[in-house]
Every structure is written in structure tokens, then in C-alpha cells.
Structure 1
């Protein structure tokens, strides 16, 4: 089958333009994802470069040989930058322009400019280098991405491998061979055009999929996070808490629940203002997180009410944790000593079983008892522990 290279190049230009404009459109709808802007720019630069390569044989070889390849190398740099930005890193401008700058310098050397095979090898090596850098961005950030990055990594590795092979195997395509669709270099050049279209379509799709997945994770995190304190909200606490209790019950392990309520919170707001009240809530949230283990479940479940579920914890250990929270909160230097305090109700699964709703109900009764006995106390189902100044 005779392949008409100019037609294939024109198809490439249209595909690159279409995918580039769609990526730019997606970025305009989700402006936080700057990687889409770089990705769209990559495709549009590739379209321009591919269009200029079709100007061979018109007596202006400096355009297809120099300017076209500069644009194509800038496109490869943009591809690397897009994935770098997606991974949360800043663009590296010297690296972005290094390939194009090196090409311009080499084109000043007559031996390089006059050798098609050398130009093909150097261009392919530069694209390979950008591909390696792109793959390294994925690998370096694999633990932080939290999205399915493997398809993008595989596409990048295949794209990189193709140009690594081309650097040694392809000697270039003569202009007459390109017009006739036969002769040395036609098959490899045609394969390169097909590979370029498949890569652009594939990387656009998987990048949009990663962006969508990350947006969904952000929305999910926002839905499960308390906007003021940054800790889990009631929904997050109930979801994680029930899962933790099921796991504890399956393993035959116990757990404890701490229900914490900041004392005289309305009076604090009325006297010092709501900003001070908000600071007190934030401070307690930070204090609790600093004193809890990674496997503990913590959240703000009401206005000034927080809950902590401590797996593999008995009553004695739970009371120790509660006392640390109570003392730590009362010793904060936000206000005058004695103005900040918290009452805490403590129950365990040994007392009421592994039902979260019942644990909360029983802890609420213990908390109510602590409030009735003067506040600033840790109260279990059977006994209370209070600040030494109040005992």
C-alpha cells in the first residue's frame, strides 16, 4: 500500500489541533489544573511544527529544518512540563527551552545542518531525553499523586522507547520519497506519524482522566472535612468509625470512644467574639491530632463537640488520652488561665459493644454527668476524673 506522507501529516495537524483545543477548553473550565494548559500548548505547538515540516522543497529549508523542529522540541518540553506541573512541581524554564536552544545552536554547524541522518538522530535523542524526564516526574511523585498514573507512565515509556529506537534505526526521509510514498525512510516516517497521533490522543485522554479523578478526590475530601478546623466532619467520623469498629469486632479487639465538649463555649463567643471561639475550636482540633495515633478516628461532630474513637484501647488507656487532652487544652496560652476547658465522656466496647450509635449515646450520658458535676472533667460510665483544683 502506497502511503501519501503529506496527507498523513495533514491528518496529524488536524488531530493535534483538535486535541490541543479540547485540552485548552478543559483547562478554561478547570483553571486550577494548569497542566491542561501546558498539555494543550504542547499539542498546538506540535501541530504548528508538523505543518511547517510540510514546507520542504519550496526553497525555504530553514523553515522545515530549523523552525519546525524548534517548535516540535518545544512541544516535547511542554509535554514534560505538563506532567511536572500535574505532579505538583513548578515549571523548569531552562529545561523547557534547552532542547530548542540546542537545536538552534547545532543548526549553525554546517556539518550538522547538511546531514539528514545526524539531524534525525539528534532530534530523536532530545525527544527521548524529554520522555525520560516525563517518566521520572511520574515515578518521583507516585506516592503523592493519589490517582491512576500508570496508564500515563506506560504511554510515556512507549513513546520514549520509540524515539530511542528511531535515534539509531532511522536515517531520515528524502523529499522525493515523501512525495512518492516509496523508498527508504517511508515506512519509519509513516509509523512515526501514526505513533504521534496515538500518543497525543492517549495522553490527552489519560491526563483528563487523572484530572477528573483528582477533582473527585478533592470534592470527596471537602465533603468529609470540617471547613473550620480541617479535621473530619460528622459524616467522616461515622463512616470511618463504623469501619474501624467492624474491623475491631472481627479481630476480637476492644475500642474506646471519647466524646469531648468545650465548656462554656457560648459564653466564650459572647465575651471574646466568634473569632476567638473559632480559634478555640481549631486549637482543640490541632491538640487532639497531635495526641492521637494514625489509626485513631477523630472528628468534629457538632458545634463545639468532638469525638475520638480509639481502636485496641481499654478504659484505663482511654482515660489517659482524655486526661492529656483535658490538661493540654486548659494549658493553652490563648486566653487567661482557667478560661479554656473541656469535658470528656469515655465509654468502651467492653461496656456497650461495637455499635457506634450506642457508644455515642453512652458517651453523651457520661459527658452530661461531667457537665453536671462542674465541667473540666473526664467521666467514664462508672466514675469521674476531674481537675485537681475541682476535686
Structure 2
């Protein structure tokens, strides 16, 4: 093995925090010690030695400041990553249901405060259970992940989407039902136009989604509890599936409207 190969395979030297701080202390100590030796031998002017010591101290302090600043930033970045992992589904990179509930609570409080509408939708891949049974977990997971990415990409910036087990749940803040239906129709159309690789004899397959959606207008007699609002959207989804899937159902109180 050549020297270059050896150097490529050998790991670089790594120092602990204590070792790095020790090195920072040792460098100026050696420099000052050398200055003392030179001074004792009367080979240098005392003023030069004093100035050198001052410069060494400044360099040392700046070095410590830079190192500590980098260390703090590294720890802060790690903290942010941990925070993001706590609210994000690892498989789809969508928000978790728990974080969605927290965001929903905040948006509903805002809607109540300003008297604005808010819409919620529950989305499910039609026949996803059968897809999982026929093609296995790996293929079904890939289909679910790609669907999640497509849904997220085609939502508005203000909209919130999260994973809820084997389906999706979406929030349309400060949005009346008509704009929410428009976005939902676009989502259904986008997914209907996509194909997914199964890796088997079936080759590419297409999927569809069903969407149940509801609107809440605080102050107009509508629900002001997120779980009741989600429950109405879930009932609308059930209605859409019972009607054959690949459709959107809007449910408000006891009335329903197909889209």
C-alpha cells in the first residue's frame, strides 16, 4: 500500500475539548517562556518582550472566543435538529399529528379572535390497505412517501399538513371553504395524474385519493374544538370513500356536498 493510500485510510487526529483548551494554553506559555529565556540572556529589549506578551494574550483571547463561539453554534444547531426531529415524521418529513394539533389550537384561537374561517381536511389514499397487502410494506411506504411529498409541494405556503397514521390531515388557516375546496381539487388532480413503480409484473400503477373537508366559522354556531372539527372532516372522508373514492366531500353540521 502506498503512502498516499495509507494516509487516505488513516483517520485524522481528533482532540477532546479539554485537549484543545490545553493546547490554547500551552502555546502562549511556550512563547512567554521563550521570551523569558531570551530576556535572561539579554538578547532582546524588555519593551519588545512586554509587547510580545501583550500580543500573545490578545491572540489567545481571540482564539478562545472564536472556539467557544463555534462550539456554542454547533450545540445550538444540534438542539434545533433535535427539536425538528421531535415534531417531524421520519418517513415522510411531514409534521407529526401531535405537532399538528398544537398548530391547530393556535390557528383556531387566532380565528376566534379575529372572527375568521378555518378549514380542515383529512386525506386518504384509496385502497391503501389493499396496496400494502398486495405489494408489501416497502412499495406501499414508497407510494405513501411520494404522495406526501406531492401533497406538501402543491399546498399553499400558509397551509399545514401532517401525517396521521396511514393518512394525512391538512389545515387551511384563515380560509373559507371555497378556496379550501379549490386547493383540495388541485391535490386530487395532481395525485390522480401520477404513477408509481411497483417493481413487479404490474409495472407502474396509478392511485387516487379521497378528501373529507369541513369549515369552521367561530361565532356562527360552528365547532370551536379542534377534535370535533377533525371528527367532522373524518366523517366527510368516510362519506367520500362510501361514494367510491377519488372524490371530495364537504361536511358542515348535517349537510354534505360532493365536489
Q: TM-score range by the shorter chain?
A: 0.7 to 0.9
Instruction: Please point out which of 12, 15, 26 is paired with 1:24.
Output: 15
Instruction: Please point out which of 163, 177, 199 is paired with 1:315.
Output: 177
Moved more, 334-343 or 212-221: 334-343
**Alignment partner, residue 8 of structure 2:** none
Give the Cα separation in 1 of the matches to 2:31 and 2:190: 69
Instruction: Please point out which of 224, 236, 249 is paired with 1:366.
Output: 236
CA shift digits 1:20-61 (9 cap, x unpaired): x9x93259xxxxxxxxx9xx4x98488458636744698xxx
In structure 2, relative to structure 1, the CA distance for the partners of 1:319 and 1:184 (3 Å cut) is: same
Give the Cα separation in 1 of the matches to 2:107 and 2:149: 22
In structure 2, relative to structure 1, the CA distance for the partners of 1:212 and 1:178 (3 Å cut) is: farther
The structure carrying a bigger helix percent of its residues is: 1
Give the Cα separation in 2 of the matches to 1:178 and 1:291: 78
Instruction: Please point out which of 201, 205, 210 is paired with 1:343.
Output: 210
In structure 2, relative to structure 1, the CA distance for the partners of 1:378 and 1:49 (3 Å cut) is: same
Residue correspondence of structure 1 range 260-275 to structure 2 within 5 A: 260-275=123-138
Work out whether residues 28 and 57 of structure 2, in 8 Å CA contact, stay in contact via their aligned partners in 1: no
Give the Cα separation in 2 of the matches to 1:378 and 1:288: 15
In structure 2, relative to structure 1, the CA distance for the partners of 1:362 and 1:295 (3 Å cut) is: same
1:51 aligns with 2:30: yes
Work out whether residues 177 and 186 of structure 1, in 8 Å CA contact, stay in contact via their aligned partners in 2: no
Give the Cα separation in 1 of the matches to 2:40 and 2:111: 72
**Alignment partner, residue 252 of structure 1:** 115
Residue correspondence of structure 1 range 77-226 to structure 2 within 5 A: 175-176=38-39, 183-226=46-89
Deviation at 1:341, TM superposition (A): 1.4
**Alignment partner, residue 4 of structure 2:** none
In structure 2, relative to structure 1, the CA distance for the partners of 1:340 and 1:223 (3 Å cut) is: same
In structure 2, relative to structure 1, the CA distance for the partners of 1:183 and 1:51 (3 Å cut) is: closer
Deviation at 1:189, TM superposition (A): 3.1
SS of residue matched to 2:207? coil
Deviation at 1:369, TM superposition (A): 1.4
RMSD between aligned alpha carbons? Answer: 3.4
Gaps of 5+ in 1: 1-20, 28-36, 59-174, 387-391
Deviation at 1:243, TM superposition (A): 2.1
Bigger RCO of structures 1 and 2 (CA < 8 A, at least 6 apart): 2
Give the Cα separation in 2 of the matches to 1:357 and 1:198: 56
Deviation at 1:177, TM superposition (A): 8.6
Gaps of 5+ in 2: 1-12
**Normalized against structure 1, the TM-score is what?**
0.53
Deviation at 1:274, TM superposition (A): 1.6
Deviation at 1:247, TM superposition (A): 2.6
**Alignment partner, residue 5 of structure 2:** none
**Normalized against structure 2, the TM-score is what?**
0.77
Give the Cα separation in 2 of the matches to 1:250 and 1:186: 70
CA shift digits 1:201-231 (9 cap, x unpaired): 3333333222221111111111111111111
Work out whether residues 24 and 60 of structure 2, in 8 Å CA contact, stay in contact via their aligned partners in 1: no
